[in-house]
Amino acid sequence: MKSYDWIVVGGGITGASLSYELAKKGFAVLLLERDATLQNATRFSYGGLAYWSGTTDLTRQLCGEGIERHRNLSAQLDADTEFRELDLLLTIDAGDDAEKAAANYAHFAIPPQLLSVAEAGDLEPLLDKSNLAGALTVRHGHISPTSTNKAYCQGFLRLGGTIEFAEVIGFIEEGNRISGVKTAQGIYSCENAVVCAGGWSRSLLKLAGISVGVYFSRAEILETAPVDLKLRTFVMPALLKRFELEAESSRIEVDFLWDEPGKELLSPILDPGAIQFNDGSLRIGQLSRTLSDLNAKVDRETSERAIRAGIGKVLPALAGLPATWHDCIVAFSADKLPVVGPIGSRPGLHVFSGLSNPLAIVPAVGERFANWATGEKDWAIELLSPDRFIAEGRRKKEEGRRKKEEGRRKKEEGRRKKEEG
């Protein structure tokens, strides 16, 4: 049985990029992907690169490094990632306070500019101006996620990496250490395994008895074939409901619901937006759900009607276009940051997930991880460590235990006083 330095689980854009970076360092790397034809978050991503959206020293640094890598990635990988920069238009609904919406972005690395309704219409003629209070705009990066994924995989293979299509069903354990990966086709030995399976990362880590603050939403979009209609900008709402959905559904108080079958943690939300790719096709969305079952079924016809109705209020010309409904699982964390690094309680096991927000940082974090794997210290990898959630979970559980004990003590004290009275 061949042994690898690293086994990367998950062949989406995060797994492909990390495999490439590890192979560049000279490691023997196996990339395992379940599906020969990608049907995951990479396949249905908008492909936006929000490099302007850093709000802390960490995120500003990673966004800056990430966009520089994306600007040169096609040349480095010798394949077209379809990188470009275009205007992002963040729409503000009629009735909302445009100045307040702009203030929400004031602390970003590059704050978007507030536009009047007329200015927004000049920038994007397809907008329905009657439903707007204004808009925000900023330059935004964009790639074809599938082309970028393919380019990374080709570069990885040129470096001597191995790709196999197999579904991971467990890990090989030697005491507390992870020393390999089990698939339906066989087992693979390794010094290190890293889970890069996006929204599926949570369930895979559970196979090793690990819970590290990785969650998932079910994203639903409509995709068109290439059309003659031209969307000049990347359109999204200024007040994204998805971030609130993620924050509320990842609170420690509701964490247990993720491990119970058939749960919907919150009502679905819709963030109407659209992007047109270089080939003229459009992706229109996005409806998001927090369902505890990875394979949960939804009413696609109802979802499609909701997406069409939502985009019809913003970009009415898109609402009636022939389109195909798709859904996928999208990873997120409990604090909006990626979950990257070793899992301290299980030597040999690592995670590299939750990088969809923003996608811009994937190349930078992958490079940093690979440098760290060679023995270099890296302050960013330390800050993104999955162990931050384990420590926080223990703290909150202990706090809950103390409060429960305090409540029991007070109840007992009250009972005694009542008896004495």
What is the pLDDT averaged over residues 281-287?
A: 97
C-alpha span between 268 and 299 (Å, rounded)? 12
Q: Which residues contact 223 (CB under 8 A, 6 or more apart)?
A: 44, 281, 282, 283, 284, 323, 324, 326
What is the pLDDT averaged over residues 17-33?
A: 98
Query: What CATH number corresponds to the domain at position 64?
Result: 3.50.50.60
What is the pLDDT averaged over residues 44-54?
A: 97
Residue 198 lies in a domain: yes
Global pTM reads: 0.91
**Among the ranges given (82-96, 139-153, 379-393), the one the predictor scored with the smallest mean pLDDT:** 379-393
For residue 357 the two structure tokens come to 């927000």
- Look up the domain containing 58 and give its range: 1-83+143-213+334-385
Residue 346 lies in a domain: yes
Output the average pLDDT for the chain: 94
C-alpha span between 155 and 5 (Å, rounded)? 18
Residue 281 lies in a domain: no
Say what the pLDDT of residue 183 is.
Answer: 96
Look at residue 50 and give its three-state secondary structure: coil
Distance of CA 25 to the CA centre of its chain: 26
Residue 23 lies in a domain: yes
pLDDT more than 70, % of the chain: 96
Tally of structural domains, the chain: 1
C-alpha span between 322 and 279 (Å, rounded)? 16
Residue 295 lies in a domain: no
Residue 421 pLDDT grade (very low, low, confident, very high; cuts 50, 70, 90): low
Annotate 230-292 with DSSP letters as a single string. ---SEEEESS-HHHHHHHHHT-GGGGGGGGSTT-EEEEEEEEEEEEE-TTS-EEEEEEEEEES
Q: Is the pLDDT confidence value at 302 over 70? A: yes
Say what the pLDDT of residue 252 is.
Answer: 87
Say what the pLDDT of residue 416 is.
Answer: 76
Say what the pLDDT of residue 418 is.
Answer: 74
Cβ pair 331, 215 in contact under 8 A? yes
242: region left, alpha or beta (phi > 0 left; psi from -120 to 50 alpha): alpha
What is the pLDDT averaged over residues 171-194?
A: 96
Peptide bond into 358 cis (omega under 30): yes
What is the pLDDT averaged over residues 338-356?
A: 95
Residue 151 lies in a domain: yes
Residue 409 pLDDT grade (very low, low, confident, very high; cuts 50, 70, 90): confident
Q: For residue 252, count other CB atoms closer than 10 A to its CB.
A: 16
C-alpha span between 321 and 333 (Å, rounded)? 34
- Per DSSP, helices labelled H in 110-144 are 117-123
Q: For residue 414, count other CB atoms closer than 10 A to its CB.
A: 10
Residue 376 lies in a domain: yes
Cβ pair 109, 62 in contact under 8 A? no
Residue 395 pLDDT grade (very low, low, confident, very high; cuts 50, 70, 90): low
Residue 57 lies in a domain: yes
* 256-273 per-position pLDDT tens digit: 999 999 999 999 999 999
Say what the pLDDT of residue 322 is.
Answer: 98
What is the pLDDT averaged over residues 179-198?
A: 96
Residue 398 pLDDT grade (very low, low, confident, very high; cuts 50, 70, 90): low
Q: Is the pLDDT confidence value at 58 over 70? A: yes
* 213-238 per-position pLDDT tens digit: 899 999 999 999 999 999 999 999 99
